[in-house]
Structure 1
Amino acid sequence: MRLEKTKEHGRLGALLLTGGCALLAVALLRGAQVAGEGVREGLRLCADVVIPSLFPFMVLAGFLATSRASVVLNQVLLPLTKLLRLPTQAASPLLMGLIGGYPVGARTLSVMVSQRRISQRDASRLLCFCVNAGPPFLLCAVGVGMFGSLQLGALLLAAQVGSSLLIGLAMGLFARRQGEDSGGAREGFRPYSVCFVQSVTDGCSGMINICAFVVLFSAITALLSASGAVETAGQLLTQWFPALDAGFLESAFFGVLEVTTGCRALAAHGHAGLLAAAALLSFSGLSVIFQVLAAVHGSGIDTRPFLISRPVHAAVTLGLFCLLLRLFPQALTVWSGLSHPAQVTAGPLGGSASLLLMCAVFLIGFQGPAQHIKKS
């Protein structure tokens, strides 16, 4: 009986999905010009914000996850991993999840699970607080570029990092204590040169995947906006929530789909838009959620806790951000004094420094084996 109900639900889901695809195909044909403009806007977004702020960190994440440099990082972050009741091998994905940008932590976890350097259970727990916006994106793109205030970007970053650590601590309280060998058998480390080349190749592949999602959701957002469906839904919702503006609800909906587009739209809605952006940055949007699911697909990582944690993460970040605004009210004063936010995109300074550091480590690692060969 239960099997028949499951099959019926499967058929119904397939029918709904087919109908949705057919409607989307018709919309794309009728609104080809609008969709094309959305694609162009998505490409501009990738070139100005996404690639400069994410690609260097994706390369760094792959290098740290596969090379012997992760051993040093494990020792440096040992107090934090112990506090979170995690094995020492969790240092790389933890750090990359906090500073690398949305899908970087997930990709690091997937690589480490495939190499059996961390267990699937620990990876599932880490995934709940290792999917965050990167500092260049928050400080430069959102803080300065969208809201015209570097101070607000710093508060958004502090709220998000604090929220992630609080969720990690809470989950650690209920986690069973595991030994340091929770990842099972480990493979030997590859040469630095191989790790560097592989990390660049994997980072390029992942970057194409991320940009594809951004461009697709930008086209869908443009179609929905042109059709008037979102505007109509916003007007209906204002009847239930009269305190909220229809334009604000429309911008928030776009943020649920794709966070960068949503934050850019919310910047025009004052204090309410700022608070909504703080929550959406931790929720990360459906586009990022799909990217994370794609990044860990086939690794055996349970993604159900991650999906449940997204709205919780958003709520905790919003609460911390409101508290920080009370403690540092001058950030709001600076923001309110700016009539036009500065058009600044996410600069690659932090990523460039990371790549220079990687090159230095690579040269040191290459020089070491060469000296060993000469001696022998």
Structure 2
Amino acid sequence: MSNVLFIWALIFLFILQPDVAHEGAVSGAQLFTHALLPYLLPYIILTQWLLKMPSKQGTSQWSRYIKAYVLGSFGGFPVGAVTVSEMKKNGEISAAESSLLVASCHAPGPMFIIGFVGNELFGSTTSGWKLLIAIHLANIVFFVLAMSLLGSRYQQTAIPTIPQQDHKTSPLLRSIKDSSSVILLVATTVIFFSSLGNVLSHSISSVITVDMGVTKTLLLAVFEMTSGVQSATEHFAGDAMYPMLIAAILSINGMSIHMQVMTIAKSAGIRILPYVIARVWNTLLVPVLFIWIY
């Protein structure tokens, strides 16, 4: 009942503020078209194509982990979830291993961090590299610690069974087909949560006397990461806390990205609890590591 009331409340907010909702939706669509699609689509297609090629059997456990991390963590969200899900479907990793890998193979793309955040926002590619190192360091430490504590139980459940491949369709065509659903998911969540964050921030600011910049940045950071980064830059660039604020927003990720990952993971039968724990871990650790390295 509470969910129904919440949904109706949001519907009324969208009806009462169509211009604000439209502005947020347009902003989300522009973010997707200009900042996400050009980098995400080619990488997802190539990753899917590579994963659909016949793989060598008998590879070591850690070589499969490295493969998942390299392919999944350097293409941006939600490539990690797509990569791990495909490897689970191929029988390269078990269900238990895939839950830890989805939690760990989760990072923004290097081009976004180094090029956009580092060069354009921080004015230094070196700062972008330091932030990227902090993110990957937190991910790797989480995975190693989790495997150290749960490794024996997780290894026992790993029974790779390579399914029959569909030889009627080429791997490239299948990768393009599978990638289209992922891209549609990303576009839908980015546009929806950008519009939602915009409507809620204006609504709260009109009812409660709070700083619009703080409200908008906080809500957009919770709902859509890239919009939150843009809002933080608009309102807090030049402040001493600005680098740590950007690191925190990138660690929180936002509901848009979480919905993408959870939808992909659920469709492959992957547990999401380790992913939730890892996001709390990264939110607390990445800003501290970044400031320490910075």
After TM superposition, the score normalised by the length of structure 1 is: 0.70
Number of the residue aligned with 2:89 = 114
CA deviation after TM superposition for structure 1 residue 87, in Å:
4.5
Amino acid at match of 2:128: G
**Paired residue for 1:163, among 138, 142, 167?**
138
Counterpart CA distance in 2 for 1:205 and 1:98 is 20
Q: What is the correspondence of 1:1-376 to structure 2 with a 5 Å cutoff? A: 15-68=1-54, 71=56, 86-177=61-152, 182-188=158-164, 194-229=170-205, 232=208, 234=210, 247-248=213-214, 250-267=216-233, 268-269=235-236, 270-325=239-294
Structure 1 residues 230 and 16, CA gap change in structure 2 (3 angstroms):
farther
Q: Is the Cα contact below 8 Å between 2:114 and 2:129 reproduced in 1?
A: yes
Of stretches 223-232 and 263-272 in structure 1, the one that deviates more from structure 2 is 223-232
Number of the residue aligned with 1:330 = none
Q: Is the Cα contact below 8 Å between 2:99 and 2:271 reproduced in 1?
A: yes
CA deviation after TM superposition for structure 1 residue 19, in Å:
0.6
Structure 1 residues 231 and 113, CA gap change in structure 2 (3 angstroms):
farther
Q: Is the Cα contact below 8 Å between 1:93 and 1:106 reproduced in 2?
A: no
Counterpart CA distance in 1 for 2:207 and 2:128 is 29
Structure 1 residues 32 and 186, CA gap change in structure 2 (3 angstroms):
same
Counterpart CA distance in 1 for 2:284 and 2:40 is 25
Number of matched pairs: 290
Instruction: Output one character per residue of 1:135-184: Cα deviation in whole Å (capped at 9) or x when no partner.
Output: 11112222233333322221111111111111111112112336699243
Instruction: Output one character per residue of 1:96-139: Cα deviation in whole Å (capped at 9) or x when no partner.
Output: 23201111110112222223221100001111111111111112
Structure 1 residues 192 and 109, CA gap change in structure 2 (3 angstroms):
farther
Amino acid at match of 1:205: S
- Aligned-residue CA RMSD (Å): 2.6
Structure 1 residues 265 and 295, CA gap change in structure 2 (3 angstroms):
same
Counterpart CA distance in 1 for 2:207 and 2:25 is 21
Q: Is the Cα contact below 8 Å between 2:72 and 2:84 reproduced in 1?
A: no
CA deviation after TM superposition for structure 1 residue 250, in Å:
4.0
Counterpart CA distance in 1 for 2:122 and 2:79 is 25
Q: Is the Cα contact below 8 Å between 1:256 and 1:284 reproduced in 2?
A: yes
After TM superposition, the score normalised by the length of structure 2 is: 0.89
Counterpart CA distance in 1 for 2:109 and 2:167 is 28
Counterpart CA distance in 2 for 1:101 and 1:46 is 13
CA deviation after TM superposition for structure 1 residue 93, in Å:
2.3
Instruction: Output one character per residue of 1:250-272: Cα deviation in whole Å (capped at 9) or x when no partner.
Output: 41332121110111111241231
Counterpart CA distance in 1 for 2:71 and 2:4 is 38
Structure 1 residues 260 and 24, CA gap change in structure 2 (3 angstroms):
same
CA deviation after TM superposition for structure 1 residue 234, in Å:
4.9
Counterpart CA distance in 1 for 2:122 and 2:167 is 44
Instruction: Output one character per residue of 1:173-214: Cα deviation in whole Å (capped at 9) or x when no partner.
Output: 112336699243112556697111111221122111101100
Counterpart CA distance in 2 for 1:151 and 1:304 is 34
Sequence identity (%) = 24
Instruction: Output one character per residue of 1:220-240: Cα deviation in whole Å (capped at 9) or x when no partner.
Output: 1221232234883856xxxxx
Of stretches 136-145 and 21-30 in structure 1, the one that deviates more from structure 2 is 136-145
SS at match of 1:175: helix
Amino acid at match of 1:227: S
5+ residue gaps, structure 1, are 1-14, 79-85, 236-245, 326-376
Q: Is the Cα contact below 8 Å between 1:65 and 1:93 reproduced in 2?
A: no
Q: Is the Cα contact below 8 Å between 2:77 and 2:109 reproduced in 1?
A: yes
Please identify runs of 4+ aligned residues in structure 1 that moved more than 4 A.
Answer: 178-181, 188-193
Counterpart CA distance in 1 for 2:128 and 2:214 is 20
